[in-house]
Amino acid sequence: SQPCWSEYLTTRIEQNMIVSCTCPISECRAQPTTAFIYSIVSSEEIIAKYEKALLRGYVECCSNLTWCTNPQGCDQILLKDGLGYGAACSKCSWISCFNCNFPEAHYPASCSHMSHMTCAKCNHGFCWRCLKPWRPTHKDYYNCSAMVSKAAWQEKRFQDYNERCTFHHHAREFAMSLRNRVSSISGMPKIRTLTFVLDACKVLEQARKVLAYSCVYSYYNQNTESMDIMEQQIESLELHTNAL
């Protein structure tokens, strides 16, 4: 009967199981069509949830589509460009990485560099792939004094780069907060000074982001010659960023 179908479909939609939903008769594998669901379910709220489930299922099935990964929340669908880094989201301007599970583009650090995650609250280091505690080589060290000393040196080196990376992320958040406060001024006059502040904040956000992920890149890079050039560029960028 229609009331039974309505209750059945509504439950499946509420449980986010509508995409794989089949006829309730155990030996029947037929799936209800969209037209049939529209004819049975009358609630606009439930229909809206159904349409969102259809869209979510479609995006997950398309290898060239993905959702914007802005942690603040964004429902925009992005088209992967095949280059690893996507264009800025047209809705929130967030830049996602299409090659790994890290939530944002992280140039110049590579995707493998971003496997090492650190909890912002307790500073616990771990690998996001297996969630095991992180070590400098992602393996246990032997117990001899030489290896223990090397491990201690690696840990100190990691802490130094991690502190720099964290500082730049906090500075980036400050620039974002300042830009939001200036943007929210009611009836903000279009004067040159405030326009400059907004533009400067955008530049600061981008510069701090690059500096933060440069710390990750520098930590893992073993090529001394290329790192000398890289460190000079980083130092110059940091000097101008601090001045701004």
Q: Which residues contact 80 (CB under 8 A, 6 or more apart)?
A: 63, 64, 65, 66, 86, 98
In angstroms, rounded to a whole number, what is the distance separating the alpha carbons of residues 236 and 1?
Answer: 73
Look at residue 78 and give its three-state secondary structure. Answer: strand
Choice between 30 and 222, residue whose per-residue pLDDT is larger: 30
Task: Provide mean pLDDT across the span 126-149.
Answer: 52
pLDDT band at 138 (very low <50, low <70, confident <90, very high): very low
Distance (Å, whole) CA 92 – CA 70? 8
Global pTM value? 0.53
- As a whole number, mean pLDDT of residues 216-226 equals 77
- Strand ranges in 110-156 using DSSP code E only, listed in sequence order: 116-118, 125-127
Kindly report the number of other CB atoms within 10 A of residue 78's CB atom: 23
- What pLDDT score does 144 carry? 45
Judge contact between 165 and 216, C-beta under 8 A.
Answer: yes
13 against 83, higher pLDDT: 13
Please list the residues that pair with 79 across neighbouring strands: 65
**Kind and range of the H or E element at 66?**
strand 65-67
Give the pLDDT confidence score for residue 18 in this predicted structure. 83
Q: What is the mean pLDDT of the chain?
A: 78
Distance CA 70, CA 94 (A): 6
Instruction: Supply the DSSP symbol for 123.
Output: -
- Is the pLDDT at 129 greater than 60? The verdict is no
Residue 24 in this model has a pLDDT that exceeds 90: no
* 52 CB-near residues (< 8 Å, 6+ apart): none
Average pLDDT score over residue span 53-57? 85
Across residues 61-78, what is the average pLDDT? Answer: 82
pLDDT more than 70, % of the chain: 74
Question: How far apart (Å, rounded) are the C-alpha atoms in residues 237 and 47?
Answer: 51
Three-state DSSP at 47 gives helix
Residue 167, token pair as written in the block: 């500082």
Strand 116-118 and strand 65-67: the pairing is unpaired
Confidence of residue 82 (pLDDT cuts 50, 70, 90): low
Q: Which residues contact 158 (CB under 8 A, 6 or more apart)?
A: 125, 136, 219
Rg (CA), the chain: 25
CATH numbers and ranges of domains, the chain: 1-59 (no CATH), 62-105 (no CATH), 117-243 (1.20.120.1750)
